[in-house]
Structure 1
């Protein structure tokens, strides 16, 4: 965080100094009970109804509390804690957010999408970090409550920022964009997910579409031209520049001649009547889409396309994102235990279709969560996807995932089907099936520690070596 003089902070928020001093600088900012509070020189936004043990603040002194609590309560505060009373903590918070964000005239990218947002974010960060100091979200930790601390991570040395936005309910992306105020917004893909919060696919599309109005005036919007659900989002009120990427139709950034290569994908990028050969680490057409979005973003941030392509080739594909390794009995394992939703399952199956040619393909699929009232329907759709293919074995883990196996059988799947509630007993079946002609895809929810551990136990390298 860029240091701010407490006196200037009080003036900005039009508050009254209740106690303490204001001739020192704050270097951290938190919302009480939402963010970790353990450092001195912190500004703390405290809401009227929040209970607080004022004595705790002694351990992180000096600190300043911004609050709209009644004056009689604030009179009990010890004098070495600075307290500024405002009319509304909520209004003071948003005024501070807006003030702080606009201290920095830098490119800020915000990314959303059902799939690809973490990888695209990491690609952008990797490409531009060779020459620029970049602030970014950590891994896929994209919950709205984290947005404020991520913003506070920007300071005068920061030259660019790229943030992944999380979505659980309608309004989440709008909230995060109010904090980040992105100059560039990206929507990678939209398909069924988080239907427990958004209720329907239409509601989910609407929630993702909040990115359109979240981009700053005269900013840039980067969209997947091949995604039918993205096409449902109205751009009528967007006043900036819209850029499209595609593998199928004419667009600003177009990928042609897509092919599987050693440890990744190759394609020809066409932009403004010029062609660029591209290699991107990681398998699958979905990885090509991620690369197109990343290249479009860094180019919009001012980077030369040729150099962006060269940097992209050195990107290290993320762990547990269709991560390929050698497994027991000489088999090949595709570890895709980072997350699971219908669209990502389809992408993974397409990769198996390609690199599993001539091999005995075995699928291990877990529960797909957060589908609300559409839980059974979408598990069945995944079962139908499996049934279209000539795989040797399908193993499901979890009560919900049983519908995948049941539907695959109903649709005439010719392979073996095993349905388990837990991972217990699964390894024994796999040990008998896996050999040097086998390929195993393991795909499950990121919070399923048991599936992650199972995948690790089947690899020839130890889990500690994978970090």
Structure 2
């Protein structure tokens, strides 16, 4: 965090000093009970309690409160600041702090692919820049604001994942992040329980157009049908498309699975020229993510050949189509980070394309937060399984049964379709199926905690092998 004199912040938070010195410098900001409080921290007491003890070890802290009588353990070096509303004071401080910096900010949203795309951009830029970015897929609204405090005078650029689970959340994040470059990776169906309809969910994702402002740049996935249908008539900024479509500004062709290198070969065509590219990790969706990352990096001044070269050493987030040696010599594909219909289609493609003659087994868990769209979206998944010619389907959970019924309806062999409701049933069935001739995809949500299932399926190293 950039160090700031306390007197400069008092008008921002509309605070009045009740006791202690104002001749202090703020070197850290923290919410009491949520963040580490260090020396010279500006501490926001968000909870109004009858008794609020202060940390004993931190020195020269400055406490912002609307209930000063509740403070306990107030040492002589503590400055007490009264505000009428601590939460509003905190948000005013965050907004002021963000306004201190002029730097490129990239915002990424989408039903799937946003975490990987954000991580790719961050990896590419970090070779040249000091980059602040959201951690993994931790993009809750309250947490996002804290990332801004990582920005200081040494920061060159920032990349923020902007997820939504309800109306107006994207613009809320944008108010503080202030991205000038926005990316929409895909718009499918996910977290829809917080919306009145699928159209409302789509409209929320589309607010990235407003988020980047009238003079901003938006990067859109040309291959996504919903994104292609977005109304851009009122957007006055710059629109750039990426994808395999012939009209994309950043276009990929000659996409191939490279099983020897564990990734995807492709050719990128753009205004600057034509380039051979490679992205670690399987699936055409990873090529799409790579195109978005390369395009975004070029918009902040990185040369495209440098972005392509840097991308070759990218490491994927854990449990994003991660390959393991499975039990009984099987091949295990771990895609348990999250699940939705769009990412399931991508995972099934990887399962089939990397099988190399093995029997393909798709273990698909329930998709959460779909509300009244649950049955129809699970049926869409069943149709995908049948279309991809997967050999064995195992749907986990009672709500996943429509996956089975739809797959059977569309011609999949009923004897190869299973619906299990317990982990023991799942493990027993997989133990029967596992062999060196079997490739198993585990595609479930991390919120369902399949960690023990995964551990049971990964091959145990022999005693004379190093772990």
One fold, TM greater than 0.5?
A: yes
Checking the alignment, whether the CA contact within 8 Å between 1:222 and 1:293 is kept in structure 2 is yes
Unaligned runs of 5+ in 2: none
Look up the match of 1:294.
293
Q: Give distance in 1, aligned partners of 2:232 and 2:247.
A: 19
Task: Specify the SS of the correspondent of 1:324.
Answer: strand
Report the Cα distance in structure 1 between the residues aligned to 2:72 and 2:235, rounded to whole angstroms.
Answer: 49
d(CA) in 2 for partners of 1:76, 1:40? 16
- Please state whether the residue corresponding to 1:400 is helix, strand or coil: helix
8 Å Cα contact 1:127-1:308 kept in structure 2: yes
Give the structure 2 partner of residue 370 of structure 1: 369
- For residues 210 and 94 of structure 1, the distance between their equivalents in structure 2, rounded to whole angstroms, comes to 21
Match of 2:127 in 1: 130
Instruction: State the Cα distance separating 1:279 from its structure 2 match.
Output: 0.3
* 1:231-287 CA-partner distances (Å, limit 9, x unpaired): 344334433222111212312101111111131111110111610100001111110
Distance 1:80 1:434 in 2: 65
What is the rounded CA distance, in whole Å, between the counterparts of 1:22 and 1:336 in structure 2?
53
User: Residue 136 of structure 2 is aligned with which of 139, 144, 155?
Assistant: 139
- In the alignment, which residue of structure 2 is the partner of 1:436? 436
Structure 2 residue 266 is the aligned partner of structure 1 residue 267: yes
Contact 1:395 1:419 in 2 (8 A): yes
Contact map agreement 1:57 1:81 (CA 8 A) in 2: no
Q: Is the 8 A contact 2:132 2:158 kept in 1?
A: yes
Deviation at 1:87, TM superposition (A): 5.0
Number of residue pairs matched? 461
Contact 1:57 1:63 in 2 (8 A): no
- Cα 1:229–1:86, aligned 2, differ >3 Å: closer, same or farther? same
Instruction: Please list, as runs of the form range in 1=range in 2, the aligned pairs for 1:156-171 lying within 5 A after superposition.
Output: 156-171=153-168
Given the superposition, is the C-alpha separation of residues 320 and 76 from structure 1 closer, same or farther in structure 2, using an over 3 Å criterion? closer
**Displacement, 1:182?**
1.2
Please state whether the residue corresponding to 2:225 is helix, strand or coil: coil
Q: Find out whether 1:9 has 2:9 as its counterpart.
A: yes
Note the C-alpha offset of 1:448: 2.4
| Aligned residue in 2 for 1:410 | 409
> CA 1:137 to 1:394, structure 2 compared with 1: closer, same or farther past 3 Å?
same
Residue pair 2:242, 2:291 contacting (<8 A) in 1 also? yes
| 2:137 match: secondary structure | coil
**1:62 Cα deviation (Å)?**
2.6
Question: Contact conserved, 2:116 with 2:317, CA < 8 A, in 1?
Answer: yes
- Tell me whether 1:345 sits opposite 2:344 in the alignment: yes
Return the alpha-carbon distance in structure 2 between the equivalents of residues 143 and 345 of structure 1.
23
**1:466 & 1:448 partners in 2: Cα distance?**
31
**CA RMSD in angstroms, aligned pairs only:** 2.5
Residue matched to 2:52: 54
Greater mean alpha carbon deviation, residues 71-80 or residues 244-253? 71-80
TM-score in terms of structure 1 length: 0.92
Q: Deviations over 1:398-423 (max 9, x none)?
A: 12112212222233311512211121
Find 2:172's aligned residue among 137, 152, 175. 175
CA distance in 2, matches of 1:466, 1:352: 28
Quickly say closer, same or farther: Cα 1:437–1:286, change in 2 above 3 A.
same
Q: Which moved more, 1:230-239 or 1:6-15?
A: 230-239
Give the 5 Å matches for 1:293-312.
Answer: 293-312=292-311
User: Which segment is superposed worse, 287-296 or 322-331?
Assistant: 322-331
For 1:32 and 1:216, the matched residues in 2 are separated by: 34
- Unaligned segments of structure 1, at least 5 residues: none
Q: 150, 159, 165: which one pairs with 2:147?
A: 150
1: distance between equivalents of 2:157 and 2:83? 33
Deviation at 1:168, TM superposition (A): 1.2
Matched, 1:210 2:224: no
- For residues 273 and 79 of structure 1, do their structure 2 counterparts lie closer, same or farther at Cα, with a shift above 3 Å needed? closer
Determine the structure 2 residue equivalent to 1:30. 30
Residue 318 of structure 2: SS of its match in structure 1?
Answer: coil
1:89, distance to aligned residue in structure 2 (A): 4.0
